[in-house]
Amino acid sequence: MSHSRKLLIITTGGTIAGKVEPTASQAHEVKNRPSLRESLAPTILDISKNSEQFNDIQVDTDNVANLDSSDVTPSNWISIINSVARRYCEYDGFIVTHGTNTMGYTSAALSFALENLGKPVVVTGSQVPFGWPGSDALMNLENAMRVVTWDNTPGPVRGVMCVFGSHIITGTRAKKSTEFDYDAFQSFTTASLGRIGRVIRWNALNLDRHHEYLSKSAPEARPVHPLRRPVPSLRVTSTFDPRVLSFTEFPGMDPESLKRLSADLIDQDRLRGIVFRAFGAGDVSTYLHPAFQYLKDRKIPIVVTTQAPNGNSNFAVNKPGMLLRDRKLAIPAFDMSIESMTTKLMWLLGQGLKYEEITERMLNDLHGEVSPEEDRRG
């Protein structure tokens, strides 16, 4: 049965919108090519004509920014969040077009800020600008529309997702892995909600887990119509505190420099939290531990992750990490991505929580950003 549906496409710029200057060798190929924003309406019309799934669809747009995503800041996240919140009752789903460089951060920010979502919010972009030869913009936009309007088995999907290439990824786990391939975004195993090809193949177990996070605070909120979902459950918490620094450890890193830099910024009220990329399983060198103790005494939460691409910062393998754990000098990131842990820390700081509350909630699996506690030591 066909249902009339309304979608809102929120545009922010980025590669998908042509926010890229062609090189000299490309210029002749893309001369006078339209941007996605200029061609969005006819593009959607073309998609609708060629797909039975989109026969009865109304699409509106809201341009909230026109940026290279490297220039995106929390204020832009808030603009996207406000666009969804203001029009939440009007639309059945939302698509956010975004540059790829910081798409993982934005997807995570939306996941934390838009709680108890009863509708899908899909973030997508492209590796090659719209209108250029070989562009993946139209394919990714169409795939995003396929996900947003999905109402077959296993039923309507909801929550924040990243759709890119052949992947459907839960919002807190999206991570750019390549500058070249069309499948630029990969996910952790537990975060893959499905794959897109000729058909969509959903991972039912992961999708159920993804949906469970959306109703933790409001278990009574369940879809009552395949497209018209209940709206009262939406809760928006969109304050982010950007006073966070990120450090990468290297052999011989000077503990006094770390302490002095932090002290100056704390005294100026310009430092509220730290993300620290350590060795191994979160094994911060022991000669840095006094600086960590100083930061703990100043109530600055430190989230420690690993430099190993597929590592797990669990403070449970080697002595330096175990000492951090036993002395409660830092928060283990476990398998959170750098995008998700940074955004989560900014979001928790933005809520004005105390140091002890932040250290506890950073360990809680709020939206699928970290493996459940029983799986963290594996």
| Residues 14, 185, 335: CA angle, nearest 5 degrees | 120
Residues 223 and 257 in one domain: no
Residues 93 and 165 in one domain: yes
Residues 302 and 160 in one domain: no
pLDDT tens digits, 295-338 = 999 999 999 999 988 889 999 999 999 999 999 999 999 999 99
Asked which of 181, 211, 236 is the last residue of a domain, the reply is 236
Residues 161 and 214 in one domain: yes
Residues 195 and 250 in one domain: no
CATH number reported for the structural domain that contains residue 298 in this entry? 3.40.50.40
Residues 207 and 269 in one domain: no
Asked which of 236, 269, 296 is the last residue of a domain, the reply is 236
Residues 227 and 251 in one domain: no
Residues 185 and 326 in one domain: no
Asked which of 236, 254, 282 is the last residue of a domain, the reply is 236
Binned at pLDDT 50, 70 and 90, residue 224 comes out as: very low
Residues 130 and 203 in one domain: yes
Task: Work out how many domains the chain is built from and give that number.
Answer: 2
Share of the chain above pLDDT 90, in %: 60
Residue 180, pLDDT > 70, answer: no
Residues 298 and 157 in one domain: no
Please give the residue range of the domain that contains residue 169.
Answer: 5-236
CATH number reported for the structural domain that contains residue 228 in this entry? 3.40.50.1170
Residues 90 and 224 in one domain: yes
Residues 226 and 261 in one domain: no
**Least confident piece of the model among 172-186, 229-243, 301-315:** 172-186
Binned at pLDDT 50, 70 and 90, residue 294 comes out as: very high
pLDDT at 127: 79
